[in-house]
Amino acid sequence: MFEKKDLLDIARTPMPFGKYAGRMLIDLPEEYLLWFQKKEFPAGRLGYLLALTLEIKIEGLEGLIRPLKGGGPERAGNH
């Protein structure tokens, strides 16, 4: 089972290398994550987060992650 920190990391961690370097993990194309799954996810935390990101996308749960991208609580009424 994943932790809240895992979801925050998926929303706020940029891909450190490759074709999509700099893009947040949740914004990586599903096809790219499937390619990694086929080739083998990297070792360590990044691999875990990429695998979890793929699972979230397959299950259609991206909507749970996207609001976390902001980096902090939103303040209603402050424009």
51-58 — which CB contacts under 8 Å span 24+ positions?
52/2, 52/6, 52/10, 53/10, 53/25, 53/26, 53/28, 54/30, 56/10, 56/26, 57/30, 57/33, 58/30
Does residue 74 lie within any of the structural domains?
no
**37 found inside a domain:** yes
**pLDDT tens string for the chain (79 positions)?**
678 999 999 999 999 999 999 999 999 999 999 999 999 999 999 999 999 999 999 999 999 898 898 754 443 333 3
In a domain, 79, yes or no: no
Number of domains in the chain: 1
Q: What is the pLDDT of residue 69?
A: 87
Residue 17 covered by a domain: yes
Q: Is residue 77 part of a domain?
A: no
Question: Whole-model pTM?
Answer: 0.85
- Residue 31 domain boundaries: 4-69
Q: Is 75 part of any domain?
A: no
